[in-house]
Homo-oligomer: A and B are copies of this chain.
Amino acid sequence: MSTTTSLFAPPASDYPLDPTYAHRHASAVVTVTGPDGAPLADADVVVEQTNHAFTFGNIGFELIDYINDYEHGASDMATTRPGRELVDADRKYDAAFAEKWLALHNAATLPFYWGRFEPEEGRPRTQEYLRAARWFAERGVALKGHPLVWHTVQPQWLLGKPVDEVERLQRQRIRRDVGDFAGLVDTWDAINEVVIMPVFTAEENGITPLARVKGRVEMIRLAFEEARAVNPSVKLLLNDFDMSTAYECLIEAVLEAGIEIDYLGLQSHQHQGYWGLEKTQRILDRFARYNLPIHFTETTLLSGEIMPDHIVDLNDWQVTAEQWPSTPEGEARQADELEEFVRTLVAHPLVEAFIYWGLGDRGMWLNAPGGLLRRDGTAKPAYDRYLGLVKDEWWVAPHTVRTSATGEVTIEGFRGTYRVTAPDGRATEVTLA
């Protein structure tokens, strides 16, 4: 018996796209003062944007090794790069990669796959990941852990344990990791792909039997309640690739059960072809009904051949990177698709995050040519096009403004943080919220 308050809210009548991005803009009047505290009239100050409120993220998987100075081995199988022979060569690639990564993004998703984070029971890679998390945080990058509960990439040592024991270990794992990373990682994909979780058959794992016994809603409750128990201010996502009515039904079940979803996570791996405007809008319309902030948590767009339609589980497409090259036509198409997709998401009032799934073609999931950088580290057109939106069209570059007779300047632009630097070098941070 539980007392619940349904969190289902009737949908707003409409959430139209606004291609002028008016909902993304804000302005503020700031009074610049001198060292004496008096308004600084008729002075030239430099105004510049320092961050976006909107999340332009990517996975940070590939950088964990680099950040840890390669001392801890490959932190994740996704970083096992074909052709990697000398750490020195990687060091150079990785340094350039890191620079390009930081130039574009303000948020990183870190890979907390249980089976890789704790391949040996009781020996989690906490220190290695803390180092990586601090590196990002020091560079102004927000962090998200992915995922606390999932049925794949599971520890082998979990297999064969009774479901009660699996539940105990799963709960303990959530508390440990959310607790250890609190203050650095305060956003988590609490649970991943629950629609398929209890009927997943592709791979034996410890979690599917638990999901069958508990049911989907209680699996979700488990993830959310354990995370909030150790970090009450944590932000939690429900995340899925299933964009059908199944996910809607699950979301309604979760809201009805009184489980608070902070952000609704929608994956958008488009290995089988770009969704296009119409499908993207239809999906936005359907999931905006829940009046929840929406995160596009995992996006892939290819710059090479498209995966055939008949593949149902993308993991079944097994090719080498050499068999799946990035092509000039593919790169031109990817840039167009990425631009249209990002513009569409940014134009939607409920979308708060766009997180791409891999910056470079090296070590990309499924060996797909879905990176924004080629295997040699050079930028594909999509990288430049996307960077042009995030750091040019939607960005306020440093420029000189003259304060008024009362020392005021008006700052106007995409919501985010801005810096105003007085002639004597004193800087003030301003947030356009």
Q: Which residues of A contact B (CB under 8 A)?
A: 1-6, 8, 10-11, 195-196, 198-199, 212-218, 242, 244-250, 252-253, 255-257, 286, 289
Q: A217 near B1 (CB under 8 angstroms)?
A: no
- Chain B neighbourhood of A249, CB < 8 A: 195, 216, 246-247, 249-250, 253
CB < 8 Å neighbour of A215 from B196, B250, B252, B257: B252
Whether A8 contacts B252 in the complex (CB less than 8 A), given A242-B245, A244-B246, A245-B195, comes out as no
Whether A214 contacts B10 in the complex (CB less than 8 A), given A1-B5, A5-B1, comes out as yes
- Chain B neighbourhood of A247, CB < 8 A: 249
CA distance A4 to B6 in the complex (A): 11
- Chain B neighbourhood of A252, CB < 8 A: 215-217, 253
Question: Can you list 19 A-B contacts with CB-CB less than 8 angstroms, sorted by A residue number?
Answer: A1-B3, A2-B3, A2-B6, A6-B217, A10-B213, A10-B214, A11-B212, A11-B213, A198-B289, A199-B245, A199-B248, A199-B286, A215-B255, A216-B248, A216-B249, A217-B252, A246-B248, A249-B249, A252-B253
Query: Knowing that A2-B5, A212-B289 are A-B contacts, what are 20 other residue pairs whose CB atoms are under 8 Å apart, sorted by A's residue number?
Result: A1-B3, A2-B3, A4-B4, A6-B217, A6-B218, A8-B217, A8-B218, A10-B212, A195-B249, A196-B245, A199-B248, A199-B286, A215-B252, A215-B256, A216-B252, A244-B246, A245-B246, A246-B246, A246-B248, A253-B257
Q: Name the distance in Å between A207's Cβ and chain B's nearest Cβ.
A: 15
Most buried by B among A213, A246, A255: A246
- Chain B neighbourhood of A3, CB < 8 A: 1-4
- Chain B neighbourhood of A218, CB < 8 A: 6, 8, 256
Q: Name the distance in Å between A241's Cβ and chain B's nearest Cβ.
A: 12
Most buried by B among A1, A198, A213, A253: A253
- Chain B neighbourhood of A199, CB < 8 A: 245, 248, 286
Q: Name the distance in Å between A351's Cβ and chain B's nearest Cβ.
A: 20
Q: Which residue of B lies closest to A245 (CB)?
A: B246
CB < 8 Å neighbour of A217 from B11, B245, B256: B256
Q: Which residue of B lies closest to A289 (CB)?
A: B212
Q: Which residue of B lies closest to A217 (CB)?
A: B256
- Chain B neighbourhood of A10, CB < 8 A: 212-214
CA distance A247 to B249 in the complex (A): 8
Q: B257 near A257 (CB under 8 angstroms)?
A: yes
Q: Which residue of B lies closest to A286 (CB)?
A: B199
CA distance A138 to B288 in the complex (A): 52
- Chain B neighbourhood of A246, CB < 8 A: 244-246, 248-249
- Chain B neighbourhood of A242, CB < 8 A: 245
CA distance A286 to B199 in the complex (A): 8
Q: Name the distance in Å between A220's Cβ and chain B's nearest Cβ.
A: 10
Whether A215 contacts B8 in the complex (CB less than 8 A), given A199-B245, A252-B253, comes out as yes
Q: Which 9 A-B pairs have the closest CB atoms?
A: A253-B253, A246-B246, A249-B249, A249-B250, A8-B215, A10-B213, A217-B256, A245-B246, A1-B5
CA distance A249 to B219 in the complex (A): 12
Q: Name the distance in Å between A47's Cβ and chain B's nearest Cβ.
A: 45
